[in-house]
Chains A and B, each alone.
Chain A
């Protein structure tokens, strides 16, 4: 009974909501408005659950002195102070929540956390971004094209000259490392660059770097993203159907029938 009633409600509501989406009749629209009210009420309970779960998790960590318990004190105190200040003085622009907590504390702390990413990324890219395989080499070149093409400096660089710089870098790398593969790659690139002017009357040879970056984003990137989106959507529909039809019952939680 404990499981069958929720399953029946889920099946009925699931089918009703699916049908409702395609029926613009006033009764159908009224039903939809009613259910959005229910959604809001149910969502409000989620906030209570969220706060409760947050307090319980950190209290437990504090009680058992688990690793990082000092941070739990910070989390609980910060939550309590924000709540008390917000409830007591409100949320006005001139109030203490804004003047003493948000603007002088949260904004610089949050911004600093994100800003230091640039430094980590530079260091990580230097240490880990290697052209070990053909695929990673391709990724590296695509990354360069997008990185430079998407900033103002890229607007001053024709794609042709970008390839020339790449050829020089490959050549230097080939000589320094005495790698045959790199030298062969350089040779192929140089041949490509030599025949480049022959196709000048076509659009491609005259492309600037931002055009190329745009192509990378709009064609290969979009194809991959679209495939992922379709996959995720189909997965979502399949899961929703399994939930509605009672095949997937994980959401019911544990317990007896």
Chain B
């Protein structure tokens, strides 16, 4: 009985150490559990894949560094997919702290495919006023963003000559860590301008998006790091990229973390019920 009481009072630092070690181990020595792509990621992949070459994919970077491990791999995989299919990528953001991440992606990914800033990719930056921004982009992007993130006038960027308003863009993928995010793109861009909207969300907020996926309002959904890993696999399987897949590499750690939490909960419950009888 003392053992169970000890289990109930176990120092939280022991749990932290167990968790830390089991998260780190697979990163050093991968277990190779493998990732298979699910139907939601496949739907998004096929929707992006069907955009004709030369057309523009809009990606809304609505997350901050806290959600970077889950959402940044989605951003890079989507950009690689688009560039491999010779599409153009327009980046914007509804979160101020997402700006640095969008710039990083717009700087790092295009050279892999010989793409240039201004011709194949443009980052518009962050603008406050969510609904006003999306509605304004539906009317005329240049009214909301006269310049790109670094201050260059949009008129001077060749890519923006064919992209005047949201109706010129076949699809937007909102990578959202919360609010504002995909729901605003659904509310305004999808319902108002009939744009296809895909979403990449953190695992914790993905459950909220399921009804929109089933109703067909969302074209596809990437849920958490697993969703990112699925998209990375799809991009690589179709021969669009040979780059390192950070989300796939992290999935072993996530598997072990989940198993550890499950075992801890079982042990905690056994200890609780064992000592409860004694207490009562």
Interface of A toward B, CB cutoff 8 Å: 33, 36-37, 39-40, 42-44, 46-47, 90-93, 98, 102-103, 106-111, 113-114, 118-119, 121-123, 125-127, 129-131, 140, 144, 147-148, 150-156, 169, 172-173, 176-179, 182, 210, 214, 217-218, 221-222, 225-226, 229
Contact = CB atoms under 8 A, between A and B. Distances in A.
Interface string B137-174: 01100011000011100000000000000000000000
Nearest to B203: A150
A59 to B, nearest CB: 22
Contacts of A182: 273
Contacts, number: 178
A82 B241 CA distance: 37
Interface of A: prevailing SS: helix
B258 A151 contact: yes
A156 B226 contact: no
A106 B258 CA distance: 28
A156 B33 contact: yes
A126 B267 contact: yes
B150 A92 contact: yes
B194 interface: no
B114 interface: no
Contact of A90 (B20, B36, B150): B150
A93 B207 contact: no
Given A43-B128, A91-B149, A148 B258 contact: yes
Nearest to B209: A225
B226 A151 contact: yes
B144 A40 contact: yes
Interface residues of B, number: 74
A103 B101 CA distance: 9
A154 B256 CA distance: 11
A131 B272 CA distance: 9
Nearest 3 interchain pairs by C-beta: A43-B129, A114-B66, A102-B100
B19 to A, nearest CB: 5
Contact of A173 (B150, B252, B269): B269
A36 B136 contact: yes
